[in-house]
Structure 1
Amino acid sequence: MASGDSFVSRDSRRTELREFLRSRRARVSPADVGMPAGGRRRTPGLRREEVAVLAGVGVSWYTWLEQGRDIKVSEEVLDAIARALLLGAAERAHLYRLAGLNAPERSARPSVAPSPEVQRLLDSWSPRPGYVRDRHWNFTAVNDAARVVFGYGENDHNCLVSFFTNVRYRVLHCHWAEAAPDVAAAFRADAARYPDDGEFERIAGDLAAVSPEFAELWERHDAAEHTNAVKAVDHPEAGTLVFDATLLPLPEHPGHHLILHNPRPGTDTQQRVEALMRQPSLVVPHPGQADTAHDADAPAESLP
């Protein structure tokens, strides 16, 4: 049954590939790609041989591809066809999938502001904490609840740096020491996604110069990936708050993530954080005013 299902799936994909290429070819005129019209045409768009010339492949090979035959394709050839057909990023990824290849990752932009839709989601998420960070872990948006609950201040610009240098943040968090190795490992794993981006090494180097704890962890060369975590906070005004933290990628801004914190079921965190955020004047306390973090029965954090 499994082999039959695989055959049906492969056959369906070839059919979809054939229809997709034909439809994309029909919407591109010779003038769109700088080619002469070449007389009267029976159908709109480019001819197969014209696509083949533009992509630098044989006419027969392209015809077989468009017919959905079982032929080998490479990323380079698919990219050439995508350029010839003026495909957008989403269409190019779709072409890859239909051809049986992994879609290429979109290039991540260093830092952009969140879209209005994401900003509205972040604002409406309050009184629950949330923030957006870019590929370098710089904050691009932080809601009020995250500032009050986690102790972020005006000088907090980078999630990793704040984790290791913000004293208030460190005092508030119940499992800081247990989470620190995973946080450093997650940043190294993200840095490996962009081997030509020296900003990761600069951030790590600057942080290692002021944080011996980070320097020691960074030298371990551990790497880890986390999309979910449990974050426990001992807040001087609200008491113990425990959140499930979820990291969500933002496809419209590759490399950026939305991190949302939801009160953990079975705790009274929801009521406590709501009461905290209803206070008319929210003053982030001095680190010395916070109680010493106690051992809460919650897993260590892995997302800062």
Structure 2
Amino acid sequence: MTDNQLGEFLRARRAAVRPDEVGMPSHGVRRVAGLRREEVAVLAGVNADYYTRLEQGRERHPSAQVVEALSRTLLLDADARAHLHRLSGTAPARRSPAATDRVAPGLRVLLDGYAGTPAFVINPALDVLAANALAEALYSPFEAMDNLARMVFLDPAGRSFHPRWERTAETVAGHLRQASGVDPGHPRLRALVGELAAYSPDFVRLWNAHTVRGKTRENKHVHHPDVGSLTLTHHAFDVRDAPGQQLIIYHAEPGSRSAEALGLLGSVHATAHRT
């Protein structure tokens, strides 16, 4: 990679725009593909020499207004526009899409495709929005698989299910603290924090510590009454089409006792449902 990514990006996108796409007249043979530098400058309302310096790397910090003007001129879509802002060191001017708790049908199908490993979708307040059968089996000791924070702090099964309960509780409280910083007015999050604070002194203690923590990659240690102790790795993926949602996938090392326990748990759960 070169040290002039901004200039190379502008040059490539300029070459991809035909003059007729932006209403520019085209006469005779053009020596360059796409728009000329001068044409981009005119359309964006910037000085031609300034734009040339941007492409050449002699100017690397355009304002957010200039970036927006170039984005419109070069017909950039949302992803390319955000990329140009990142290259320029500016923040996108658009508002973030509103968060949603609706899980897309395609994502629900994907969850069921992970038949051999627990998978579920959560929102910033740690509400469980959808889960596959093995995730439901894993969390079956709880009264309801509805909210990961409520399950840790308020459900009687929480402390026996999480052998390292203090560490788990600290992580959960830290996640909620981080989420509240991203969206302080999130009504569901505010209601959950109020509920936990009203009924759990441990939550109050950890919440007041102001620890901020996103989803970690630490191993999860759990104890299920039907199959015993399990050690699981997990990955969190942002759901691109649903801001705020995350897909969580647990995984046991192949051939390990935990993998055998997950397989047994799935069989027990399936048998119970058939019965």
TM range (shorter): 0.7 to 0.9
Quick check: 1:134–1:140 contact (8 Å CA) kept in 2?
Answer: yes
1:9 Cα offset (Å): 1.5
What aligned pairs does 1:1-304 form with structure 2 within 5 A after superposition? 9-11=2-4, 13=5, 16-26=8-18, 29-30=21-22, 37=23, 41=27, 51-52=40-41, 55-65=44-54, 67-71=55-59, 72-99=61-88, 101=89, 107=96, 109-151=98-140, 155-195=144-184, 197=186, 199-264=188-253, 267-279=256-268, 280-282=270-272
Quick check: 1:28–1:45 contact (8 Å CA) kept in 2?
Answer: no
1:243 Cα offset (Å): 1.2
2 CA distance for matches of 1:281 and 1:239? Answer: 18
Q: Are the structure 2 counterparts of residues 47 and 157 from structure 1 closer, same or farther at C-alpha, using a change threshold of 3 Å?
A: farther
Quick check: 1:113–1:141 contact (8 Å CA) kept in 2?
Answer: no
What letter is aligned with 2:21? S
Q: Are the structure 2 counterparts of residues 57 and 221 from structure 1 closer, same or farther at C-alpha, using a change threshold of 3 Å?
A: same
What letter is aligned with 2:56? G
2 CA distance for matches of 1:181 and 1:73? Answer: 42
1:176 Cα offset (Å): 1.9
1:275 Cα offset (Å): 1.6
1 CA distance for matches of 2:70 and 2:63? Answer: 11
1:300 corresponds in structure 2 to: none
Quick check: 2:14–2:35 contact (8 Å CA) kept in 1?
Answer: no
TM-score, normalised with respect to structure 1: 0.72
Q: Are the structure 2 counterparts of residues 54 and 212 from structure 1 closer, same or farther at C-alpha, using a change threshold of 3 Å?
A: farther
2 CA distance for matches of 1:140 and 1:225? Answer: 19
1 CA distance for matches of 2:154 and 2:164? Answer: 15
TM-score, normalised with respect to structure 2: 0.79
1 CA distance for matches of 2:204 and 2:264? Answer: 39
Structure 2: gaps spanning 5 or more residues: none
Aligned residue-pair number = 267
- Percent identical: 30
1:237 Cα offset (Å): 1.6
Helix, strand or coil at the partner of 2:3: helix
Output the aligned Cα RMSD. Answer: 3.3
